Amino acid sequence: MKETPQQYTERILGYVEGKRPLVVQAATAKKLNRLIKGISTAELRRRPAPEKWSVSEIIAHLADAEIVGGFRLRFILGSPGAPIVAYDQDKWVTSGHYDQRDPRKSVAHFCVLREANIALLKTLTPEQWKHYGMHSERGRESIEHIVRMFAGHDVNHLQQIEKILAHSDLKFGCKRPLDQALVGQRLVKVRLKST
Ligand code: NI
């Protein structure tokens, strides 16, 4: 069952509870680069299931989401209280030809966009952090809230990428039995060492 916008917000915020969102955000590009290091573009473009995004598509989504987020921040700052329009992220995958994106270039694009957005955020006054827009599905969202949501969104997709890579490793049987007991980050590390 698909989660409601409220359930989604709760889950995403849960990933960054007690964390500083800008610190989380600043570390993401490096983590992406580390996760995909040594893995071929063809493998990164392989979908884990016909209806699931590939690692490359997830990274393209992160890069495009950073454009959306960057625009929203600027729009709210320029016109506090303005409407925030939702977009259909699945349609963007096909309309934006994510299957043809180069995953390493997508990380580079994400990195530059993220750097520009963080540089902007660092200049905001305390009052500007409280400015908000009206999201068409989720209602009132302040800059503070949006920045926290983006940090949680990063963690969500990093975990998704880790799972895909760990799973594809087991599926292709390239590992020694002992390694198969490992999960998550450690599994990915073992895998990277062996490639
Ligand atoms: Ni997403």
Ligand 1 centroid–CA 155 distance in Å is 10
Ligand 1 centroid–CA 62 distance in Å is 7
Ligand 1 centroid–CA 186 distance in Å is 24
Residue 128 backbone zone (phi > 0: left; psi -120 to 50: alpha; other: beta): alpha
The total of other beta-carbon atoms located within 10 Å of residue 83's CB is: 11
| 36 vs 31: CA distance, rounded Å | 9
pLDDT of residue 165: 95
Name the residue with higher pLDDT: 169 or 195. Answer: 169
Full set of structural domains in the chain with CATH: 5-166 (1.20.120.450)
pLDDT of residue 187: 46
pLDDT of residue 172: 52
Ligand 1 centroid–CA 175 distance in Å is 30
| 27 vs 38: CA distance, rounded Å | 20
Q: How many helices (H) and strands (E) does the chain have?
A: 9, 3
Ligand 1 centroid–CA 176 distance in Å is 33
| 168 vs 170: CA distance, rounded Å | 6
pLDDT digits (tens, 9 = 90+) for 59-109: 999 999 999 999 999 999 999 999 999 899 999 999 999 999 999 999 999
Nearest to 55 by CA among 34, 32, 28, 72: 32
pLDDT digits (tens, 9 = 90+) for 145-193: 999 999 999 999 999 999 999 987 544 545 444 444 444 444 444 444 4
Ligand 1 centroid–CA 41 distance in Å is 21
